[in-house]
Amino acid sequence: MTSTATAHTNIALIKYWGKKDAILNLPTTSSLSLTLDKFYTTTTVSKNDSIDTLILNGQNVDARKIQNFLNILRDELGTFDQLTITSENHVPTSAGLASSASAFAALTAAVTRELALDLPNETLSRLARRGSGSASRSFYGHFAVWHEGIDDKSSFAESIAAPDMPIALVVAEVSSETKKVSSTEGMQRAMTSPDYSSWIQNSAKQFLDIQNAIITSDIEKIGYIAEKNALDMHALNLTARQQPFTYFTQETQQILAIVSDLRHKGILAFSTMDAGPNVKIITTLNEAPTIVNHLKKEMPHLKVQTAASGPGVTYD
Ligand code: 2P0
């Protein structure tokens, strides 16, 4: 038998940037995301009688991270056979989006389907969290929250009831990467910032405020809060007491300035950034083409793509 599931990636509007328990992947704050239609991972699992194996986009690749995660699932769900995981990633690294969210969500969904366990998304989100925190949010379409919780059981994600709205995300990929600091490492450093406890407090308020903006389809307010939350997160990296760093490059700053200029000209455009130099611009489906054209004119070498709100996990 084989089982297949598809999960879409998500972009955090209120970021997860720190762990209070690194083994259980319990975050220091609750986070909130938008699932994207364009970028997704489809994963098929089947039993084998040798060793957990990962075939990613047709290539047999290092499976250690997946093996560790499958062993966590064996502890949690009861042991099961070794698996062959065949994954097709439609999250081009060129999009500047992390694929770990969609990858661990699709894997968790496919494995539990293969075991004939019919688990609710909340339980799946808790399991996937152990592989990668952001994966917990990828089970749901549109907007999702991941509650920080106080233990394994209470740290799960769920969908937010939200009206349909024409929110869009323009992804601007810069051409040069600085030396990459992984999310896990970046968070550890950020937590040494003297501003970290105020970040936690501000984030709690932003988490509530953005939910009010979502309920009222106020995309401008969503963008405003998300931009502030993201820039506050990146400020922690700069003010870390141990190994301060930044994901910003010169091009990042150029894009941020263009977004700010567009906003002054009356275009709805707000920036957010994750563990890398690329900028994602929150806007409306109507205004996205104007932003794309403007970015291409000012910075012709940029790769720019537009995504809209996407669905939750599906099974074949
Ligand atoms: C987020 N990021 O909320 C934040 C914002 C990046 C910046 O979640 O250590 O791959 O595997 O739990 O989920 C990316 O980190 O980290 C991330 P781990 P993950 O989307």
Query: pLDDT at position 61, please?
Result: 87
Q: Whose CA is nearest to atom 11 of ligand 1?
A: 132
Say what percent of the chain tops pLDDT 90. Answer: 93
The Å distance, Cα 266 to ligand 1 centre, comes to 32
pLDDT-based confidence at residue 98 (cuts at 50, 70, 90): confident
Q: What is the CA radius of gyration of the chain?
A: 19
Assigned domain for 98 exists: yes
- Distance from the CA of 264 to the center of ligand 1, in angstroms? 31
Atom 8 of ligand 1: nearest residue by CA position:
134
Average pLDDT, rounded, for the chain:
96
For residue 136, what pLDDT band results from cuts at 50, 70 and 90?
very high
d(CA 129, CA 278): 24
**Parallel/antiparallel/unpaired status of strands 2-14 and 26-27:** unpaired
Query: Which of 163, 185, 206 lies at the terminal end of a domain, its last residue?
Result: 163
User: Does 313 fall in a domain?
Assistant: no
Residue 95 has pLDDT above 70, yes or no: no
Residues 203 and 140 in one domain: no
The tokens describing 21, both together, are: 């328990």
Residues 195 and 252 in one domain: yes
CATH number (domain holding residue 18): 3.30.230.10
Task: Report yes or no on 153 lying in a domain.
Answer: yes
Same domain, 172 and 277: yes
Q: Is the confidence at residue 161, as pLDDT, over 80?
A: yes
Task: With cut-offs at 50, 70 and 90, classify the pLDDT of residue 94.
Answer: low
Task: With respect to residue 33, please indicate whether it lies within any of the assigned structural domains.
Answer: yes
Distance 17 CA to ligand 1 centre (A): 7
Residues 85, 205: one domain?
no
What average pLDDT does range 4-27 have in this prediction? 98
Cα of 219 from ligand 1 centre, angstroms? 23
Does one domain contain both 182 and 262? Answer: yes
pTM of the predicted structure, to 2 decimals: 0.97
CA of 133 to the centre of ligand 1 (A): 6
The stretch 226-246 carries a mean pLDDT of 98
pLDDT of res. 82: 97
243, pLDDT greater than 80: yes
Q: How many domains does the chain have?
A: 2
28 CA to centre of ligand 1 in angstroms? 12
Q: Which of 316, 207, 305, 296 is nearest to 9 (CA)?
A: 305
Same domain, 113 and 41: yes
Residue closest via CA to ligand 1's atom 9 equals 184
How remote is the CA of residue 48 from the centroid of ligand 1, in Å? 31
Which residue, judged by its Cα, is nearest atom 17 of ligand 1? Answer: 134
Could you say which of 135, 163, 191 is where a domain stops? Answer: 163
Does residue 316 lie within any of the structural domains?
no
* One domain, residues 139 and 122: yes
Same domain, 33 and 140: yes
Measured CA to CA, the distance from residue 249 to residue 214 in angstroms comes to 31
Q: Which domain holds residue 98?
A: 2-163
159 pLDDT higher than 80: yes
Closest ligand 1 atom to Cα of 135: 13
Note the pLDDT of residue 178. 67
Could you tell me if 184 and 142 lie in one domain?
A: no
Residues 254, 128 share a domain: no
* Mean pLDDT calculated for residue range 80-90: 96
In a domain, 154, yes or no: yes
Give the E-state strand segments of 18-106 in sequence order: 19-21, 26-27, 31-48, 53-56, 59-61, 82-90
Inside any domain, residue 152: yes
CATH label of the domain that carries residue 276 = 3.30.70.890
Per-residue pLDDT at 8 exceeds 80: yes
Quick: pLDDT tens for 250-273. Answer: 999 999 999 999 999 999 999 999
**Which of 97, 131, 163 is the last residue in one of the domains?**
163
Which residues' Cβ are closer than 6 Å to ligand 1? 12, 15-17, 25, 31, 98, 100, 132-134, 183-184, 274-275
- Answer yes or no: are the C-beta atoms of 155 and 27 closer than 8 Å: yes
Q: Based on the domain organization, do 216 and 239 belong to the same domain?
A: yes
Instruction: Pick from 137, 183, 273 the residue to mutate for probing ligand 1's pocket: most ligand atoms within 8 Å of its CB.
Output: 183
pLDDT tens, residue by residue, 32-76: 999 999 999 999 999 999 999 999 999 998 889 999 999 999 999
314 falls within a domain: no
Q: What is the pLDDT of residues 183-193, one digit of tens each?
A: 999 999 999 99
301 and 184 in a single domain? The answer is yes
Between the alpha carbon of residue 59 and those of residues 4, 18, 30, 55, 63, the distances in Å are 18, 32, 36, 5, 11
Are the C-beta atoms of residues 128 and 144 closer than 8 Å to each other?
A: no
Q: Which atom of ligand 1 is nearest to the CA of 31?
A: 3
